[in-house]
Amino acid sequence: MKEPLVFGFALVVVDVALWRITFVRNDTLRVLLRILNFGLLSWVLFVSSMSPFKPAPWPDSPLLHFPAQAPEVL
């Protein structure tokens, strides 16, 4: 995956939208969409070797290291 941070942040934005914006009125559908989104975010983290239990994989580049910690934590 070339840009895991872009996909990670996009999935976090989608999750916040599913959580806060009520365009999906059916609670069951909203929960299923959030579970799917969680699975996709977990996949992005796994493929890009990121983990919430380890520091981000770019310690020598602060411009990548600090933003990479946000999807790991979220």
**Tens of each residue's pLDDT in the chain, 74 residues:** 567 777 877 888 888 887 777 666 788 888 888 899 889 888 888 887 777 777 766 677 777 766 766 666 66
Look at residue 2 in the predicted model and tell me its pLDDT.
Answer: 64
Taking the model in full, what pTM does it have?
0.66
Q: What is the pLDDT of residue 74?
A: 64
> Is residue 18 a contact partner of residue 37, using CB atoms and an 8 Å limit?
yes
What pLDDT score does 20 carry? 76
Specify the number of domains making up the chain.
Answer: 1
Domain that holds residue 68: 4-73
Biggest CA pair distance of the chain? 45
